[in-house]
Amino acid sequence: MKKIILIGLGLIAFSFYQLNHVDMSNFSWVQLSQQNDWPVREPKALGFDEEKLVSLHQFVSRSKRKHVHSLFVAKDGQLVFEQYYPAANTPTGTPMPTHYPPGPDTAHQMRSVTKTVTATLLGTLLQSGAIPSLKQPLFSYYQNEAVADLSHKADVTLENALMFNIGLDWAEWGERNSDAMNMWLSPDPYAYILNKKMAYRPGEKFIYQGGVSVLLGGVVERVSGMDLREYADKALFGPLHITNYDWFAHEVTGQYLGSSGLYLRTRDLAKLGQLYLNQGEWHGQQLLSPQWVKQSLMPRGKFWSWKSIEYGYNWWLPQIESNGKRVSIAAMRGSGGQEMFIVPELNLVFAMTSGAYFNQDEDFPLQLLADYILPAIGMEKVAYIPNH
């Protein structure tokens, strides 16, 4: 009997070891890519505690239920940490394909990161002068379409659309029969959105509304004279040398929508963050104005009164503190764990992709930032504060 118990305990111990052991025999700080598009430095050369980064890698490797696919850290425009994980995807709930396995040259679903990219495209049109001001009425770009409740929409500006406070009657989350899903399933997404009436006055209430990003994408197309993918390639992706990407088109109309559908490599997602850290400049070319960057990252409002996270021009602004003082952090975020954070005072980018489409832990990426990445670069007493 004693021998049986000992064998059982041994099996339990071995199983625990197997579940928690992380093979470090082939570990390297960064991975080989077909594109040599990021200068590489060893973490310690830029002031990182390498043991903390190794601990981050081991923790994520063991956290299989979080379905993390990639982690990427760059500082001062130099890549220091890049890892990929063969974690399974949960069901996506959409017709969009998933590209697998994760790797440095695999384009990943971006989900709502697409919204911030669409906003950035609007910023390039402001930079070029093609759009004179964010005070332009949003629906003035839809004069040839049937627009419901137009008299109450006349005062809606492009800025209202960027902040998601236009007042549209729209239910994005938490409903099986959501407007976001009905829009995608409709034969004409633009007609579906334009037929929605107003529930609030412009600027009165912040409500997350993917349909508004579709309308902003339509503005980009009408002003540029190109479809959204074509203009993105010319004004943003081309200059950033983003070539291995995709944009899933609507299955009926063939249109590229400004709310979702974009696929990017983790390396290219991080480039978008570096562009904002560079005040809109990339290799001598001013793609965005510094004023646009500043305005985009300013807190404008909140979707939930009990949460600390705020919203800018399609940028998320979470609350993380070091030694009791708030650290300026901004993020592009997409459902399922698609994340890109910038920390301007450190000139740092942290990007992450995941396949947690069905059971996402939206706080997990912020905890990684607070528990591992910021301490690794020397920040003390770092705390993520999700709620007031």
Longest dimension (CA), the chain: 84
Distance of alpha carbon 350 from alpha carbon 73, whole angstroms: 5
Q: Domain spanning 108-384: which CATH class is it, in words? A: alpha beta
CA angle (277 as vertex; 271, 282 as ends), nearest 5: 55
- Residue 10: the pLDDT is 46
Q: Which residues pair with 317 in a beta bridge?
A: 310
CA angle (261 as vertex; 260, 267 as ends), nearest 5: 100
**What are the strands, taking DSSP E only, across 117-269?**
246-247, 262-264
* pLDDT of the chain, 388 residues: tens digit per residue: 555 555 554 444 344 444 468 999 999 999 999 999 999 999 999 999 999 999 999 999 999 999 999 999 999 999 999 999 999 999 888 888 899 999 999 999 999 999 999 999 999 999 999 999 999 999 999 999 999 999 999 999 999 999 999 999 999 987 668 999 999 999 999 999 999 999 999 999 999 999 999 999 999 999 999 999 999 999 999 999 999 999 999 999 999 999 999 999 999 999 999 999 999 999 999 999 999 999 999 999 999 999 999 999 999 999 999 999 999 999 999 999 999 999 999 999 999 999 999 889 999 999 999 999 999 999 999 999 999 8
CA-wise closest residue to 248 among 90, 97, 353, 38: 97
What is the helix, strand, coil percentage profile of the chain, to 5?
35, 15, 45
What is the enclosing helix (H) or strand (E) of 109?
strand 108-109
Here the tokens at position 85 are 């994980």
CA-wise closest residue to 68 among 264, 316, 341, 360: 360
For 342-379, give one letter per residue: b (16+ CB within 10 A) or e: bbeebbbbbbbbbbbbeebebebbbebbbbbbbbbbeb
Cβ-based neighbour number of residue 231 at 10 Å: 21
* Strand 246-247 relative to strand 262-264, pairing: antiparallel
Structural domain spans, the chain: 108-384
- Residue 388: the pLDDT is 83
Distance of alpha carbon 288 from alpha carbon 10, whole angstroms: 61
CA-wise closest residue to 141 among 151, 149, 131: 131
- Residue 1: the pLDDT is 58
- Residue 97: the pLDDT is 87
- Residue 5: the pLDDT is 53
Distance of alpha carbon 127 from alpha carbon 307, whole angstroms: 33
Q: Please give the span between the terminal C-alpha atoms of the chain, in angstroms, as a whole number.
A: 55
